[in-house]
Structure 1
Amino acid sequence: MSGGRPVVSVVILTLNAGPGFEELLRRVSGQRGDFELELVVVDSGSTDGTVELARRYGAAVHRISKRDFNHGATRNLGISLSRGEYVALLVQDALPLGEGWLAAMVENLERDERVAGVYGRQLPRPEASAFTRALLGSLATASPERREQFAGGPERYRALSPQRRRRLAAFDNVSSCIRRSVWERFPFDRTDFGEDIRWGKRVVEAGYRLVYEPRSAVYHSHERGALYDLRRYYVNQRVLMELFGIRPVSSLARLLVAVARSTLYLYRLLRSNEEAAAAGALLLLAAAARYAATSQLGNYLGAKSVSLARVSPRLYGRLHGFLSRGI
């Protein structure tokens, strides 16, 4: 595109988005910036009025069946239905903070044509539990410091350590904005999990930059149970193993060490949080141990899944079907 103000599209994937969705739409519609704003919603079979609400806020709505939803392919569909030079991707339960959420990401793309994508800060919702606040506050996507991720070219990227390659490839489609021309060259993979870090790896390896921009922030947090944590760490470990060969919990001995270390780290993290610390040492230790055990067990099962598939395909099929469900 050339001449005039750029078009910036916001693509949201929905399925029964719930009562908070109107506030999301209101905040997206109220974004300020030197661009024309377009809103595209791809809905996977909502029955709670999500579609009608989106249309009232001027969204172009495209409907698909629930069985056709795919994290990568459905985002590609939404982008293909949009016309923006830059396309923001937002999940249905993330709530932008302020009227500059979108402009802060667009500014990075406008400033440097080698920036392929920008992703923003995630903060726990005001009603989040003390444990959730402490845990999310320690993540890289909660940092107040801006980061640029650039390897210097394909050869230099491939020469880096697995952990360094992983950090440079970090990207998060909870709240992000990508350059259409780069997406046309590198669309998202058709995948049920990790479409964002897969894309991040491809574009950084190709010589582009990614930017973490904390001025663009959303509220986004959940109160999950142990089963969800187990499943999420399982599928996440499989992605990290596939993309970077990272497998830190590869044996039962390492699992025990990882649980102990993770419990101690989380306990100290909770103790340092004044709100969490008020619950008392025993409750904090129990919460830390529960999360450490389920997350590290998920890592272990993910690391072992490849060898299990070779030894016992039937058992692997059942385990994988159970652990990858609902993520």
Structure 2
Amino acid sequence: MNAAEGWSRLTSLLLESIAADRVLILDSSSTDETVNLANAAGFRVHVIARSEFNHGGTRQLAAELLPDAEILVFLTQDVELAQSDAIRCLLEAFTDSGVAAAFGRQLPRRGATPIEAHARFYNYPAESGVRTLSSREQLGFKAIFISNSFAAYRREALMAVGGFPRGVIFGEDTVTAARLLLAGWKLAYVAQAKVYHSHSYTWMQEFRRYFDIGVLHHQESWMLSEFGGAGGEGGRFVRSELRSLWPRYWWLIPSALAHTAAKLLGYRLGRVESLFSVGLKRRLSMNRLFWN
């Protein structure tokens, strides 16, 4: 939605790696020039009402609109390819017939804050890797980490596990990754396929985002049963973040701790969302349309 401002960054390298008629823009009723720009570029465009947007359902719709695609590549509108061959590098993972999904490395956007940059370097290291169900013994919940901001799926595998879930508030990529591993498929992280993508959230945005993650973990609690809780990984992240800030960016530590507190509070409230009214959950959530 409303991708016109960064359109040239989104499309300049994209058009070097894929034919325009193989690109589908699924637009949730943008109010800027996004649709006109997409049509002018020769892309296929499908517009839905903003009220119909759903993280899993909208991506599943995209997959169904491209029935002849063996591999489906997903990009969000705020991603900038860091290299012209980023998609080709990502697709190389599928030379292994057991790989069902692959995701690339997300680097901090230009002008990112130190806190924002650390999150990207922590979650997207320079080393590639392939995960199987047995990876949960070492990685726990991290074994199903994936991001649909820049990811690709083997259609056969995706559809075999029911496609993207339509009824989740957020984290459709994580749910799908868990289903794929449980079905015996592999997940590939391809560090050589790089994009720029990060966010500088306010503490309130962090709270809302983690409230939604808590809701997901409450409503899809089977993931925690199969892959363990995310608490240990959260603690490791905070310790790594503080080390990255001290001493060079010491004055940012109070802000980092405030954001951590907001995340923790949001997550814990999300885990008990069934106690709240729909109206309150809508006010606490980042994905408010989910509660309509």
TM-score, normalising length: structure 1: 0.77
2:107 pairs, out of 107, 123, 147, with 123
Distance 1:37-1:55 versus aligned 2 partners, 3 A rule = closer
Percentage identity across paired residues of the two chains: 28
Greater Cα radius of gyration, structure 1 or 2: 1
Equivalences for 1:275-294 in 2 at 5 Å? 277=248, 279=249, 281=250, 283-294=251-262
2:127 pairs, out of 145, 150, 156, with 145
Shift of 1:100: 1.1
What code does the residue aligned with 2:126 have?
A: P
Q: Which has the higher contact order (CA 8 A, sep 6+)?
A: 2
Distance 1:185-1:36 versus aligned 2 partners, 3 A rule = farther
Structure 2 SS opposite 1:41: strand
Structure 1 SS opposite 2:198: coil
1:85 pairs, out of 37, 52, 70, with 70
1:244 pairs, out of 224, 228, 243, with 224
Asked if the contact 2:20/2:42 (under 8 Å) is kept, the reply is no
1:106-158 Cα offsets, whole Å, 9 max, x none, are: 1111x11111010010000121122211232222xx20111101126xxxx8x
Asked if the contact 1:169/1:197 (under 8 Å) is kept, the reply is yes
Asked if the contact 2:82/2:194 (under 8 Å) is kept, the reply is yes
1:189 maps to 165
1:228 maps to 205
**CA distance in structure 1 between the partners assigned to 2:230 and 2:152 by the alignment:** 31
What code does the residue aligned with 1:101 have?
A: A
Alignment: residue pair count: 278
Asked if the contact 1:42/1:61 (under 8 Å) is kept, the reply is yes
**CA distance in structure 1 between the partners assigned to 2:82 and 2:73 by the alignment:** 15
1:220-276 Cα offsets, whole Å, 9 max, x none, are: 011211111011112213323422145577xxxxxxxx99x976653322126xxxx
1:158-183 Cα offsets, whole Å, 9 max, x none, are: xx66x845222222101001111112
Q: Which range moves more in the overlay, 116-125 or 179-188?
A: 179-188
2:15 maps to 29
Asked if the contact 2:141/2:224 (under 8 Å) is kept, the reply is yes
1:46 maps to 30
Structure 1 SS opposite 2:22: strand
Distance 1:264-1:168 versus aligned 2 partners, 3 A rule = closer
**CA distance in structure 1 between the partners assigned to 2:20 and 2:37 by the alignment:** 21
**CA distance in structure 1 between the partners assigned to 2:239 and 2:31 by the alignment:** 44
**CA distance in structure 2 between the partners assigned to 1:134 and 1:113 by the alignment:** 34
**CA distance in structure 2 between the partners assigned to 1:174 and 1:149 by the alignment:** 19
TM-score, normalising length: structure 2: 0.86
2:143 maps to 168
1:290-320 Cα offsets, whole Å, 9 max, x none, are: 11211111222123334xx2xxxxx443432
2:281 pairs, out of 320, 324, 327, with 320
Structure 2 unaligned segments of length 5 or more: list them.
Answer: none
Structure 1 SS opposite 2:23: strand
Asked if the contact 1:120/1:215 (under 8 Å) is kept, the reply is yes
Asked if the contact 1:105/1:216 (under 8 Å) is kept, the reply is yes
Q: Which range moves more in the overlay, 208-217 or 239-248?
A: 239-248
Distance 1:52-1:37 versus aligned 2 partners, 3 A rule = closer
Structure 1 unaligned segments of length 5 or more: list them.
Answer: 1-14, 250-257, 310-314
Shift of 1:219: 0.2
Distance 1:183-1:263 versus aligned 2 partners, 3 A rule = closer
**CA distance in structure 1 between the partners assigned to 2:238 and 2:151 by the alignment:** 32
